[in-house]
């Protein structure tokens, strides 16, 4: 009943999502049967970081050809690793872009099917994942023989429960796969940023949007401060951009951008239909407005009725406090 937990690296550290996956893995089996896997060309420091966590063992899968991620190299290396291990029951990943790129192929190579994007694990085990754009939940069960591949959605479990340091360090092993440059068919470039000069509201994860309630351009810095604290882009409804207080490219609505961030915070926006159509797809909508009948509350998940000149600074403080 052992688990292989494949950790993912970003800027020399293990990604937070991987620790959430670890928390989820403990729902499948106790920490004593979890083996953490780090993968790359040099994995020493990653292994050190992983060994701090409540895992029974850390395996360093190391090869020069693993320096940069490619689906071909990762699949080949991990396939060899899994085949070298006895009785691996679960292979767990964080459901990241990288895992989505290779885990289905890896599972397929082993005659398996990944249960991806898991948001909950119940008795059985039964894996819950969302269907129909989140309108329904589906319960999945693995019915085949051999290892079961699972990728866990970020936010499904809390990284700070169950994955805390245990005091002792887990042992670290080295695994050197046989890789050949000819196996790797794709040539990825170094990552680059999207063009900086124009804001891309469409891909923003968080947006703070401001409307007519702000009254004057000189009040904008107050909202900007909240946006900065949240790590959000600043956007606006039409009148703000019409007045030239913010550039047109920051306008959300039928004559501007259509956005779908994870968090959309509407400040002083009443919620005319022209605006709603531009942001209704947001995952979580928060509205701050002094009019309790403002239509924006109809589409919001959370609402605060109040004077934005009081609520916004208070919220900025609360966000900053929460981050510390």
Partner 1 sequence: MKIAVAIKQVPERDAPVRIAPSANWIEERELQWAMNEPDAYALEEALLLKEQAGSEVIVVSAGPERVGSTIREALAKGADRAIHILCDDLNGRDALGVARLLAAVIKQENPDLVLTGLQSEDVGLGQTGVIVAELLGLPHATMILRVEKTDAGLRVKRELEEGWFQSIELPTPAVLTMQSGGNKLRYATLMGIKRAKTKELRTVTAAELGADSAPTVVLEQIAAPKKQKSTQMLPGSAKEAAAALVEKLKTEARVL
Partner 2 sequence: MIILLPNLAEPQHFSTFESGLFAALAAASIWAFWRRFGPIFSKILQSKKDPGFQLFPIGRRVRDFVWEVMCQAKVIRERPLVGVAHALVFWAFCAFALVTLNHCATIFGLGFLDPAGRFGRVFFYVAALFAAACAVAIFGLFLRRFVARPKWLGAVSWESGLIALLIFALMVTYLAAFFVPGASTAARLLWWAHTITLLAFLPLIPHTKHLHLILSPFTIFLSRGGFAEIPPLVGDEDFGLVTGKDLTQLISLQTYSCVECGRCMEDCPANNTGKLLNPKEIVLGLRGYLNEYGPHSEEPLLSKYNSQEAAFECTTCGACEFQCPVGIEHVPIIVGLRRGAVNTGAWQDDQGAKLFLALERGSNALGMSAAERDKFIEKNALPLFDGTQEYCLWLGCMGAYDPRGREIVVALVRVMRFLGASFGVMRKERCTGDPVRRLGNDLLFQQLAEANLEALAQSETKKIISICPHCVRTIQEDWKAYGTPPEVEHHSEFLARYASQLPPVRDREKIVFHDPCYLGRYRGVYEEPRKVAALAGDVVEAPRSHERSFCCGAGGGLVFLGEEKGERVSHVRAEELAATGASVVGTACPFCNTMFRDAFADAFAAKGEGAPELMDIAQLAARGLPE
Cβ pair 55, 172 in contact under 8 A: no
Per CB under 8 A, which of residues 119..178 are in contact with partner 2? Answer: 135
Return the CA Rg of the chain: 23
Other CB atoms within 10 Å distance of the CB of residue 80: 16
CA 142, chain centre distance (Å): 25
Pick one of partner 2, partner 1, none as the site partner of residue 212 (Cβ within 5 to 8 A by kind): partner 2
Q: Is residue 105 part of the contact set for partner 2 (CB under 8 A)?
A: no
Round to whole Å and give the CA distance between 41 and 15. 17
Q: Is residue 290 part of the contact set for partner 2 (CB under 8 A)?
A: no
Report, in Å, the least distance between residue 315 CB and partner 1. 4
Per CB under 8 A, which of residues 169..228 are in contact with partner 2? Answer: 212
Q: Is residue 100 part of the contact set for partner 2 (CB under 8 A)?
A: no
Pick one of partner 1, partner 2, none as the site partner of residue 277 (Cβ within 5 to 8 A by kind): partner 2
> Cβ-count burial of 115 within 10 angstroms (0-12 exposed, 13-18 middle, 19+ buried)?
buried
Q: Is residue 254 part of the contact set for partner 2 (CB under 8 A)?
A: yes
Judged by CB under 8 A, the residue of 272, 304, 311, 315 near partner 2 is 272
Report, in Å, the least distance between residue 87 CB and partner 1. 18
Pick one of partner 2, partner 1, none as the site partner of residue 111 (Cβ within 5 to 8 A by kind): partner 1
Round to whole Å and give the CA distance between 99 and 9. 12
Packing angle of the helix pair 71-84, 97-109 (nearest 10 deg): 50
Q: Which residues in this chain contact partner 2 in the complex, by CB under 8 A?
A: 135, 212, 238-239, 242, 254-255, 258, 271-274, 276-277, 280, 295, 298-299
């Amino acid at each position: 009943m052992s688990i292989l937990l494949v950790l993912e690296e970003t800027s020399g550290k293990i990604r937070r999502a991987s620790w959430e996956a670890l928390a989820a893995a403990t729902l499948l089996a106790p920490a004593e049967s979890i083996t953490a896997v780090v993968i790359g060309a040099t994995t020493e420091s990653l292994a050190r970081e992983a060994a701090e966590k409540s895992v029974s063992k850390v395996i360093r899968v190391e090869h020069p050809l693993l320096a940069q991620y490619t689906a071909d190299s990762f699949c080949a290396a991990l396939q060899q690793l899994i085949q070298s291990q006895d009785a691996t029951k679960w292979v767990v990943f964080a459901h990241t872009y990288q895992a989505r790129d290779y885990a289905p192929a890896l599972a397929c190579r082993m005659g398996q099917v990944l249960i991806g994007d898991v948001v909950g694990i119940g008795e059985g085990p039964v894996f819950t994942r969302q269907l129909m754009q989140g309108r329904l939940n589906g319960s999945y069960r693995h019915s085949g023989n051999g290892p079961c591949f699972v990728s866990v959605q970020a936010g499904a479990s809390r990284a700070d429960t169950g994955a805390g340091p245990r005091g002792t360090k887990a042992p670290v092993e080295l695994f050197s796969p046989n890789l050949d440059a000819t196996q790797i068919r794709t040539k990825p470039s170094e990552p680059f940023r999207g063009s900086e000069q124009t804001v891309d509201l469409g891909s923003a994860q968080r947006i703070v949007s401001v409307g007519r309630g702000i009254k004057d351009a000189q009040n904008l810095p107050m909202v900007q401060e909240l946006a900065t604290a949240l790590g959000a882009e600043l956007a606006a409804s039409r009148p703000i951009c019409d007045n030239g207080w913010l550039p047109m490219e920051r306008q959300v609505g039928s004559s501007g951008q259509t956005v779908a961030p994870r968090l959309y915070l509407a400040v002083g926006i009443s919620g005319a239909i022209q605006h709603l159509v531009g942001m209704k797809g947001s995952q979580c909508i928060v509205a701050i407005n002094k009019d309790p009948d403002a239509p924006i509350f109809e589409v919001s998940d959370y609402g605060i009725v109040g004077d934005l000149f009081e609520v916004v600074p208070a919220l900025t403080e609360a966000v900053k406090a929460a981050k510390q």
